[in-house]
Chain A
Amino acid sequence: MNIMSWLWDIQGGATLGVIWAIMALGLYLTYRVLNYADLTVDGSLTLGGAVSAVCVAAGVSPILAILIATISGMAAGSVTGFLHTKFKIPDLLAGILTQFALYSINLRIMGKANFGLLNEVTLFSQIKALGIPSKWAGLLVGVVFAVVLIIAVYCFFGTEIGCALRATGNNPHMVRAMGANTKVYIVLGLIVGNGLVAMSGALLAQYQGYADINMGVGTIVIGLAAIMIGEVLFSKKTYFHRLAGVVIGSVVYRIIIAFVLRISLTADTVIKITADDMKLITAIIVVIALIAPGLKDSAVAKLSGKEGD
């Protein structure tokens, strides 16, 4: 076994991990903080990728392309928010409807199912041009984005508005009783959350050199895996720890995936695990994480029940 290839797996996993972590931060905002299961994200990640790719191909500067993509994701989030708050469509359905509509919109934006960025100037090619080795350019960009966003989201949580957003997810009755309109904060959370998801898609498209109509499939599950791995590894102390936990969870998730593929590649198994099996494996990780606290509780209950006998 070649130790170097394992190290490169870690490095490659970390790069994808930090880029996808930006999506996980967005999902953390809606799913954990706002307590809103937002399925828009599968569509808004692709939307971010599509807008970013098309802009770059049209000669827009890569960083501006990422900004435009982020704004498009915010618009998608606001649609879900309005469907839910204005027209009282249940949260899951509101997200699914937007996601479904985005499929068509994303195809319209790209004009085809796969939009390549061969030889275009991307943020990553710009960094490489500064003399950074290409293997490290992706990691550098991803880490800078992730760190800046952790700090930005943390600061946002500390503001009066951020506080109201957190309280809305925690106890909407109290928020209304204290004179704040919960609907405003739900829409705001969905806007910011989907903005982050689209930003992640925008970076991803530039990193891998193409946007694909299916690049967002399973985003919500991948995000949940990152959030839950982060929560297992980090106890929920301060929000700073929790946000950093999300990013680290995303990195760890990617490294796990890379290792599974590597083992399957080198080991002599009958069934070869391929990248296509990762959705199944990810779903299993999330299911385990979802039922694990319950398992622990029921085990404790059983134990203490026996003690009582």
Chain B
Amino acid sequence: MLDIKHVYKTFNKGTPVQKEALIDLNLHLDEGDFVTIIGGNGAGKSTMLNAVAGVFELDKGHITIDGNDVTKDPEYKRAKYIGRVFQDPLRGTAGDMWIEENLAFALRRGKNRSFKWGISNKEREQFVELLKTLDLGLEDRLDSKVGLLSGGQRQALTLLMATIKKPQLLLLDEHTAALDPKTAKTVLEMTNKVVTENHLTTLMVTHNMNDAIKYGNRLIMMDHGHVILDISGEEKKNLKVSDLLAKFEEVSGKEFSNDRMMLAK
């Protein structure tokens, strides 16, 4: 479904702040894979997701989605395959626009937009049904500005928007990190439900090792711009945080340090 082959990306090349963010990155995802991604700050997790989404051009390497080589496609063209939720709740929605306008916009992801006016009643019914599943009372607020919603409500809405038109690939970049623990848990459960029910091929970055172990069928750890650990199947099910820490030290030869990483239960 997704192939990342020998991808390199250096930011600010040739300047004193040059940063090699991706170094010979390789990753293959099968259809329906739900992969959680962990790694220290600056390991290149967001950069990998941005590379897949086409936010910048690669220095080297190829990216294929569902058999289509998208390496040269700009962000907006790849969007027809990809649903995304960002860490910043403000980033995934248009705050000045209504809930229904945002959903209608998302429903047309990857389609040509025309001078067709308005939102049909059938679409509106679909929005209400979907919003009900969130259980946040948003189904009665179709004409509320998204800017009035809380961060958690906004992330839940963004998740809906990313999946309302089923994506071949779902990219989640620490999408619960900005939320309070309780809301984060709700949104994460919602995510798990949407992903498993629709068998969505998913990459989910998280800073919580327990979540990384709990969700998905596969776990990868990144360091220095590439994948250093790839665990799936039975091995992943039986994984413990202490195992992960030991593995990290074994592979990288250093201690796992990340103040934001939640190690405890």
Contact = CB atoms under 8 A, between A and B. Distances in A.
Interface of A: 155, 158-161, 163-164, 166-167, 170-171, 173-182
5 contacts: A159-B114, A170-B95, A173-B92, A179-B79, A180-B113
A163 B75 contact: no
Interface in B27-68: 53
Given A164-B105, A179-B80, A174 B94 contact: yes
B66 to A, nearest CB: 15
Contacts of A163: 97, 101, 104-105, 113
> Ordered nearest first, which 4 A-B pairs have the shortest CB separation?
A179-B79, A160-B113, A179-B110, A170-B94
Give the interface SS of chain A, mostly helix, strand, loop or mixed.
Answer: helix
B88 to A, nearest CB: 9
A49 to B, nearest CB: 30
Given A177-B75, A178-B79, A178-B105, A166 B97 contact: yes
Given A158-B117, A163-B101, A163-B104, A177 B84 contact: yes
Contacts of B109: 178-179
Contacts of A160: 108, 113-116
Give the interface SS of chain B, mostly helix, strand, loop or mixed.
Answer: loop
Contact of A164 (B75, B91, B92, B113): B113
Interface of B: 53, 74-77, 79-80, 82, 84, 86, 90-97, 101, 104-106, 108-111, 113-118, 161
Contacts of A170: 94-97
Contact of A171 (B93, B110, B111): B93
Nearest to A155: B117
Given A158-B117, A159-B114, A159-B118, 12 more contacts: A159-B116, A160-B116, A161-B115, A170-B95, A171-B91, A171-B94, A173-B92, A175-B76, A177-B75, A177-B79, A177-B82, A178-B108
A177 B53 CA distance: 8
Nearest to B161: A178
Contact of A182 (B76, B92, B118, B161): B76
Contacts of B92: 173-174, 177
A177 B111 CA distance: 12
Contacts of A175: 76, 94, 105
A174 B91 contact: yes
B79 A176 contact: yes
A227 B184 CA distance: 41
A173 B76 CA distance: 10
A166 B98 CA distance: 12
Contact of B117 (A159, A167, A171): A159
B114 A167 contact: no
Contacts of A178: 79, 105-106, 108-109, 161
A152 B97 CA distance: 20
B195 to A, nearest CB: 18
Contact of B97 (A155, A159, A167, A179): A167
Contacts of B106: 178
A178 B91 CA distance: 12
A181 to B, nearest CB: 5
Given A173-B91, A177-B53, A179-B109, A158 B118 contact: yes
A174 B95 CA distance: 10
Nearest to A166: B97
A174 B246 CA distance: 39
Nearest to B171: A177
Nearest to B75: A176
B214 to A, nearest CB: 27
Contacts of B82: 177
